[in-house]
């Protein structure tokens, strides 16, 4: 059994940062709170559980994470309710997914109790950073890196786990222009596409920038083998609505992130009475559906993204507009229900909310 004692550094008030003046301009992931949670893995166990002042991490230049990519992370959000409580959304699922990423990257799993106690204690200390307006949250970034100085190609024997917090607004603009990548891929079967590891995101930057240069907000990846079936958008999973039936990429292939918001969207839609199909969806069927008017909406789901409508897809040198570049009825219905649960405006029928304070 791990020792769950978390030591907390005392930070004098004079060293605390001034809080943001207005919630309107906080952006996403730009403002860091005062403290961070850290734990070290040495000699086969997690130790030194600490909450200390947010500070740079000093590592040897040969640390494994710099050379061989042993880095994993999670994304979570804490929501301030109208009556001032702080809610986490399905946090145990993030801890479980973090450990799946760890396993794939030959990194040690972390006891979910360390992950969750560290996170809750940190949030209690930092609760005054939580924005009040709906749509704004504390974005939570848990991460783990291989820290052992070792230039030989092998898994690190030492790791650092840390959690940092950012009061944030939404990650994406209100409606997305998406670029479908035909030439480049994000992940291949048998690869590490379902792990939240830095390499998956680093590898997407080149095409992401090409898309941005052309005026698009994000890239929709197609499958590596046929360049035909839609996969995910890197920062979110994707859904399409055909004649009120909802389609999303299945999880069977190990090429997409198993989104917790994706899973929540599926459950909410099924409870509304809609049919949700987790089926491989060819891009040509999507484009045909748009031309024939059977594809009525598309949206992405992710922690940072929340639920975000897709207004157009660039594919084979043409922009294909979805629902007149407007948010669709089902997308709106889902967004309202999810936010109501997350912000505690309605009773949570699923047991997804964990009240921190």
Give the nearest distance from C-beta 142 to ligand COI in angstroms: 10
Closest Cα to residue 123, out of 69, 79, 67?
79
Query: Which residue's CB is nearer to ligand COI, number 222 or number 235?
Result: 235
Judged by DSSP in three states, 338 sits in helix
Assign 3-state DSSP to the chain and report helix, strand, coil percentages, each to 5: 25, 30, 45
CB closer to ligand COI, 139 vs 247: 139
Residue corresponding to tokens 């060819």: 282
Is residue 132 within 8 Å of 23, Cβ to Cβ? Answer: yes
Q: Is residue 74 within 8 Å of residue 94, measured between CB atoms? A: yes
CA angle 67, 39, 42 (to 5 degrees): 65
Cα angle: 355, vertex 356, 357; to 5 degrees: 100
Q: Which is nearer to ligand COI, 64 or 233 (CB)?
A: 233
CB of 73 to ligand COI, least distance (A): 7
Whose CA is closest to 330, among 263, 245, 267? Answer: 245
Give the whole-angstrom CA distance, residue 137 versus residue 271: 26
Distance CA 8, CA 18 (A): 21
How would you classify the pairing of strands 45-53 and 71-73?
unpaired
Residue 264, token pair as written in the block: 């929540």
CB of 201 to ligand COI, least distance (A): 6
User: Is residue 115 a contact partner of residue 98, using CB atoms and an 8 Å limit?
Assistant: yes
75 vs 344, which CB is nearer to ligand COI? 75
Q: Which residue is nearest to ligand COI (CB)?
A: 75
Residues forming the site for ligand COI (CB under 6 A): 75, 171, 201, 235, 302-305
Provide, rounded to whole angstroms, the least separation between the CB of residue 88 and ligand COI.
13
Whichever of 73 and 274 has its CB closer to ligand COI, that residue is: 73
Q: How far is the CB of 99 from ligand COI (least distance, A)?
A: 16
Q: How far is the CB of 281 from ligand COI (least distance, A)?
A: 21
Question: Which of 298/303 has CB closer to ligand COI?
Answer: 303
Provide the minimum distance between the beta carbon of 76 and ligand COI in the complex, in angstroms, as a whole number: 7
C-beta closer to ligand COI: residue 192 or 295: 192
Judged by CB, which is closer to ligand COI: 72, or 230? 72
Burial of 273 (0-12, 13-18, 19+ CB in 10 A): exposed
Measure the CA–CA gap between 160 and 234, rounded to whole angstroms.
25
- Name the minimum Å distance from CB 29 to ligand COI: 8
Residue 160 near residue 40, CB atoms below 8 Å: yes
């Amino acid at each position: 059994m791990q020792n769950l004692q978390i030591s907390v550094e005392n930070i004098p008030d004079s060293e605390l940062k001034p809080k943001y003046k207005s919630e309107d301009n906080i952006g996403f992931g730009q403002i860091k709170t005062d403290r961070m949670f850290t734990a070290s893995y040495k000699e086969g166990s997690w130790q030194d559980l600490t909450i200390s002042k947010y500070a740079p991490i000093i590592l040897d230049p040969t640390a494994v994470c710099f050379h061989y990519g042993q880095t994993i992370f999670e994304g979570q959000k804490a929501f301030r309710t109208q009556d001032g409580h702080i809610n986490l959304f399905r946090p145990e699922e993030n801890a479980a997914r973090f450990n799946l990423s760890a396993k794939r990257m030959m990194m040690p799993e972390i006891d979910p109790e360390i992950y969750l106690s560290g996170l809750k204690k940190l949030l209690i200390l930092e609760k005054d950073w939580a924005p009040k307006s709906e749509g704004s949250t504390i974005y939570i970034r848990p991460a783990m890196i291989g820290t052992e100085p070792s230039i030989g190609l092998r898994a690190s024997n030492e790791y650092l786990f840390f959690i940092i917090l950012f009061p944030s607004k939404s990650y994406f603009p209100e409606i997305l222009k998406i670029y479908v990548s035909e030439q480049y891929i994000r992940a291949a079967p048998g690869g590490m596409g379902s792990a939240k590891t830095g390499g998956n995101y680093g590898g997407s930057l080149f095409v992401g920038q090409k898309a941005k240069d052309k005026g698009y907000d994000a890239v929709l990846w197609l499958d590596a083998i046929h360049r035909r079936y839609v996969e995910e958008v890197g920062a979110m999973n994707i859904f399409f609505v055909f004649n009120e039936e909802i389609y999303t990429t299945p999880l069977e292939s190990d090429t997409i992130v198993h989104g917790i918001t994706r899973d929540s969207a599926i459950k909410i839609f099924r409870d509304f009475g809609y049919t949700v199909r987790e089926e491989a969806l060819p891009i040509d069927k999507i484009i045909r559906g748009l031309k024939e008017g059977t594809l009525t909406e598309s949206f992405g789901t992710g922690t940072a993204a929340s639920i975000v409508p897709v207004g157009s897809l660039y594919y084979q040198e043409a922009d294909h507009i979805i629902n007149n570049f407007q948010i669709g009825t089902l997308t709106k219905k889902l967004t309202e229900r999810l936010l109501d649960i997350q912000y505690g405006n309605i009773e949570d029928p699923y047991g997804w909310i964990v009240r921190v304070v």
